[in-house]
Amino acid sequence: MKRKIIVYIATSADGFIARKNGDIDWLDRPRAAGNYGMADFYRSIDTILWGRKTYDVVLKMQRDGVKGATFDPHVKNYLFSRRMRSRPVKHVALVKESVPRFAKRLRAEPGRHIWMMGGGGLIASFLDAGEIDEFMVHVIPTMIGDGIPLVAPRRRLVPLKLRRSKRYSDGVVSLHYDVVKAPARGQTRRA
Ligand SMILES: NC(=O)c1ccc[n+]([C@@H]2O[C@H](COP(=O)([O-])OP(=O)(O)OC[C@H]3O[C@@H](n4cnc5c(N)ncnc54)[C@H](OP(=O)(O)O)[C@@H]3O)[C@@H](O)[C@H]2O)c1
């Protein structure tokens, strides 16, 4: 099986993954039955990629005693940071390689798909390296006005192909896209 790197994430209706200060209070809402297919998705992955700021949010949630704020020891957790010098917590490995080198190595290892947890900074690093295969975005029917975008901003043109969309009873819409990869040099993009 070809391993894919998949962003599975929730955004506000206006495209943010958190408030500017990192708050995700607007995500604290009752879940629709089936939790938006989370269990099926989780069974399809065995690896999670964490940006350092998202990792810090989990650590803070742990300190605050938030239930479920853990790093699952049954999957491989990789943390990306350029600045971190201290060792990450148990069950988390700090990546020392560049994104392209890491992604190449990970894709060559046997295993299930890879969950790109985010946030927007790490997603941007992988997207700009051509290393995101799919986006599964759950759009929450709430606007928060300002915040951290799904992908850290810069000028880009990344075509997406819609695989599937699903509407849930609570107004959440999930959008499942393939990232249309630029053709390798010497090839032309097929329609
Ligand atoms: N809505 C959701 O479902 C959802 C999901 C995930 C996260 N979030 C939220 O997103 C927010 C954080 O997002 P963010 O965009 O600010 O930060 P982030 O992507 O979590 O972390 C950014 C950091 O990751 C490291 N990084 C990024 N690219 C790298 C690369 N190429 N090589 C090595 N390290 C790299 C850098 O760490 P250093 O600065 O240490 O070098 C960078 O500052 C949090 O508030 C979190 O709660 C929401």
Q: Which domains, from first to last, does the chain contain?
A: 1-20+34-142 (3.40.430.10)
37 lines ligand 1 (CB under 6 A): no
Among 71-80, 161-170, 177-186, the range scoring the smallest mean pLDDT is: 177-186
The first and second tokens of residue 100, run together, are: 């392209």
**117 Cα–ligand 1 center, Å:** 9
Strand segments (E) across the chain: 5-12, 16-18, 45-51, 76-80, 92-94, 113-118, 134-140, 148-149, 160-167, 173-179
Q: Per-residue pLDDT for 26 more than 90?
A: yes
Ligand 1 mean position to 121 CA, how many Å? 5
Confidence at 34, pLDDT banded by 50, 70, 90: confident
> In whole angstroms, what is the distance from residue 84 CA to residue 4 CA?
27
| Residue 111 alpha carbon to ligand 1 centre in Å | 24
- Rounded to an integer, the average pLDDT of 33-52 is 95
Model confidence pLDDT, tens digit, residues 118-129: 999 999 999 999
